[in-house]
Every structure is written in structure tokens, then in C-alpha cells.
Chains A and B, each alone.
Chain A
Amino acid sequence: MAELLLDSKIRFWVFLPLMAITFLVGIIKHYLFIFMSNDKTVDKQQLTDSQALLRSRLIRENGKYLPKESFLMRKNYFTNEDSGFFVKQKRQSTVKNPMSDPKAMTEMLKGNFLNMIPMVVIGGWINWAYAGFLCTKVPFPLTFRFKPMLQKDVNLVSLDASWVSSASWYIINLFGLRSMYNLVLGENNAADQTKAMQDQMSGAALSMPDDISKAFKAENESLTITEHKWLLKGIEQSFLN
């Protein structure tokens, strides 16, 4: 296959800018997200429900550390057939229509806005401005199966598969730079994580399942079938030996 010669202007006006754009857009997205996210207020009902689910999950997972009576007492509180928490609390199905709840709609819009808009806009712009360029070559041979992936909108059958078109270079960047964000924004990301954890402890920002009555039913079932197996039984033996 004949060696292709690329205009070196492509390097400075296409190849390099594409990488810079993807990277900077990612960073801007991160800061926009911080800027736009505000404190959520949760209503009482939702909060009680999510906390009850959380506690029930803990009982299922860590119940083995409690004496049997204590475990059964809690299990009964949640799953008793007549008066259990999960049985008694009848919630109307709260799959809210997002259109009727303006708050949920703005949240949704924000999420979509931050994820979709840059993708669409930048992707569209790149398609428009850089369509049809070959911009680089991957330094390893590839089979022809990779052609549609690496050579978007360059339809040359005889071209070696390791050449990369500009649109594909953008997509490669999009995926390859993900872990670079961790590297660059590492501290912020970590801070976000700890913040999320604190919220979780105070129970302020628990993600709510869409349909609470369904979640209750599922949790009720899984707690009902949880048997108590005391982990600490016979712990003396490990000391006596």
C-alpha cells in the first residue's frame, strides 16, 4: 500500500485542536456541573422511604452480627403481615410525570443539557468543519473490520485501516481522555465523592428509586426470606484454641 502524505497544516489546524477541544470541553463540563448543581430539597415522605429502605438493607446485610431476638424484632417491624412497615405504608405509585413537576424537569434538563449538548454540538461542528480529513495514522496494523470505526466519512475501500479520520479521532479522544480527567481533576472528584458520602450519612441526598411501592415490595420480599445466622456463635472457640 502506498504511503500517504498528509499536509502538515492538518497537524496544527485539525489534529492538535481536536484533542485540545475535547479535553477542554470535558473540563468545562466538570466545572459547569459544579456550578449548576444546587442543594436538593427532599420532601419528608421520600426521605422516610429511602431511609427505611437503607435500614432494611443494612438489616439484611449485617443482621448476622445481632443476637437472634434483636434481628427478628427488626424483621418483624418491617415485614409483619398485618402491621409491617413495608406492608402498611401504601404509597401511590409515584412515577411522576416529569412534565407535571417543574422541579424534576429542570433537573432532568440540566443533566441532559450537560451530557448531550456538548456531544451533539461539538460532534456536529466537527463533522461540519473537519469532515473528510484523514488526520493521523495509528502506529499499529489493524484489520479491515476497524475501517468503519476509524474512518468515519472517508469511504475509500483500498485505504489501509490504520489511517484515522478526523471525526473518529474526536471519538477516540472522547473515550481515551476519560481517565485523564481523573488525573487532572482528581482532587475535585475526590472532594465530590466525600461530599456525596457525607450527604449520604445525613441522608440528604439519597437517590430515590422511581417507584417506591415497587421498591418496598421487593425489599419486603428479600427481607422476609432472609434467615438469621448468627456470625458470632462459637466465637469463644477461636480464643480457646
Chain B
Amino acid sequence: MHSTKKTKATLDRHLLLPDTLNEAAVRYNSFLLDYCQTSVSALSGSAAGIIGLTGLNGFVFYLICSIFLSIIILLYLNDSIKLYFTSKKSIITANLWSGIQTYLLFWTFLYGMVHVY
């Protein structure tokens, strides 16, 4: 019984993965993800700059905001996550790296505007 179940699972996987994915849809989804991430990093960067976070605090703040966003997305998608993305991990990690440039820019910019001069 156990073995038949296993063969079924492997068969399903090799029939349906990985190229069952609609490439255009995947691209669109990751584009939207990127959109959220950029907005959040721009906003959180601005906030960090205005309240004048420096050093490690700023990075921790970024991490918190970013993880917060990931959690919100995961909660929002809830069960249907498999429909839109291949793995949960990819949502979180892709988010973390893509936003840091934008975050740094806005953080530096508003920190400079408010606190340096």
C-alpha cells in the first residue's frame, strides 16, 4: 500500500513539474511580488531615514519590515499559495534581497535630508 502511494506521487511530480507553469503568469506574479517589495522598502527606508536610525538598527528595521511583508503575503495567500508560487521560501528570500538597494537609497536620502545638515 505504502509503495503504491509513493509511485503515484513521483509519477505525478514528473508529469506535472516543472514546466507545467505558465511562464507569463510566473513572470507576472514575481513582478507583483517585486512591486510590493519595492514599495515596502521605499517606505520603510523613508521611515528609517526620518526617525534617524543609524547603524545596525536600520538593518534590523529593514529585516523586520521585510519579514512583516512576507508574513502578510503568506497570510493573504493562505492556502492558495501553491497556485501562485512554487515555494514559500522563495517568496521570503527573493523579497529580502531585491529590496535592499532601494531601502539603502531611501534611508540614506532621507537621513541626509533630515539629520546631516
**Residues of chain A at the chain B interface (Cβ within 8 Å):** 6-8, 10-11, 15-16, 19, 61-62, 135-141, 164, 172-173, 175-180, 182-183, 186, 190, 193-194, 197, 231-232, 234-235, 237-238, 241
For the complex formed, measure the closest distance between the CB of A219 and the CB atoms of chain B, giving whole angstroms. Answer: 19
B contacts with A: majority SS: helix
Residues on A with C-beta less than 8 A from B117 are: 6-8, 10-11
Residues of chain B lying within 8 A (CB to CB) of residue A15: 112-113
CB pair A190–B28 under 8 Å, yes or no, is: yes
B contact residues vs A (CB 8 Å cutoff): 4-5, 7-8, 11-12, 14-15, 19, 24, 27-28, 31, 34-35, 38-39, 42, 48-49, 52-56, 58-59, 98-99, 101-102, 104-109, 111-113, 115-117
B34 touches A139 (CB 8 A): no
Count A/B pairs, Cβ under 8 Å.
97
| Chain B residues near A193 (CB-CB < 8 A) | 27
Contact A183:B109 (CB < 8 A) given known A6-B116, A190-B31, A237-B11? no
Told that A172-B104, A237-B8 touch, could you supply 16 new A-B pairs with CB distance under 8 A?
A135-B112, A136-B108, A136-B109, A137-B111, A139-B54, A172-B108, A175-B101, A178-B101, A179-B34, A180-B38, A183-B35, A183-B38, A183-B42, A186-B35, A234-B11, A235-B11
The smallest beta-carbon distance between A159 and chain B, in angstroms, is: 14
- For A238, list chain B residues within 8 Å (CB): 8, 11-12, 15
Q: Is the CB of A179 within 8 A of B112?
A: no
